[in-house]
Structure 1
Amino acid sequence: MHPKVGKNKPQDKNTAIASAKETAEKSVSSLINFSLKYFDTGNVKFPCSCWDGVYYLDLFSRIKDLCLLQKLEFTSNRSKTLRSHPIKWQETTENGFGFPMEEQIVDVPYQFSLSANDKGRVHGFFISNTFYVVWLDKNHALYP
Structure 2
Amino acid sequence: MTKENPSKKPGKKSWGIPKQPSTGNEKDGKKHFLTQEQLESLQKKHQDKVRFSFIYFNREHELFTCGKAPDGWFLVLFDNLKEISKLTKNEFLFNQRYKNHYDTHQHDWDRQDKTRYYPLPKGMFEQIKDDCWQFRLSSSNGRVHGFMIENVFYIVWLDPHHNFYPDERFGGEQYFDAPLTPYQELEIEYERLKEQNASLEEEKEELYQMLEEYEEKLKEYEKKLNDKVS
Q: Which residue does 1:82 correspond to in 2?
A: 102
2:96 aligned with 1:96: no
Choose 66-75 or 92-101, whichever is displaced more: 92-101
Provide Cα deviations, 1:77-100, integer angstroms capped at 9, x if missing partner.
444421011111123344520311
Q: Which residue does 1:42 correspond to in 2?
A: 60
How far, CA to CA, are the matches of 2:83 and 2:129 in structure 1? 24
CA contact (8 A) 1:32 1:67 kept: yes
How far, CA to CA, are the matches of 1:68 and 1:74 in structure 2? 9
Report sequence identity in percent.
39
Deviation at 1:141, TM superposition (A): 1.4
2:148 aligned with 1:126: yes
Letter in 1 for 2:71: G
Deviation at 1:103, TM superposition (A): 1.7
Q: 5 Å matches for 1:25-64?
A: 30-64=48-82
2:84 aligned with 1:66: yes
Deviation at 1:105, TM superposition (A): 4.1
Cα distance, 1:82–1:32 mapped onto 2, change above 3 Å: same
SS of the equivalent of 1:73 reads helix
Q: 5 Å matches for 1:105-120?
A: 105-115=128-138, 117-120=139-142
How far, CA to CA, are the matches of 1:142 and 1:93 in structure 2? 10
How far, CA to CA, are the matches of 1:107 and 1:120 in structure 2? 22
Deviation at 1:65, TM superposition (A): 0.2
How far, CA to CA, are the matches of 2:113 and 2:100 in structure 1? 23
Q: Which residue does 2:157 correspond to in 1?
A: 135
Q: Which residue does 1:4 correspond to in 2?
A: none
More helix by share: 2
Letter in 1 for 2:117: G
CA RMSD of aligned residues (A): 2.1
SS of the equivalent of 1:81 reads helix
- Stretches of structure 2 that go unaligned for 5 or more consecutive residues are 1-43, 167-230
SS of the equivalent of 2:82 reads helix
Q: Which residue does 2:25 correspond to in 1?
A: none
Deviation at 1:122, TM superposition (A): 0.3
Cα distance, 1:110–1:132 mapped onto 2, change above 3 Å: same
Which protein, 1 or 2, shows the higher relative CO under an 8 Å CA cutoff with sep ≥ 6? Answer: 1
Bigger Rg over Cα? 2
Q: TM-score, normalised by structure 1?
A: 0.71
Consecutive aligned runs of 4 or more in structure 1 exceeding 6 Å deviation: none
Letter in 2 for 1:35: S
How far, CA to CA, are the matches of 2:145 and 2:74 in structure 1? 15
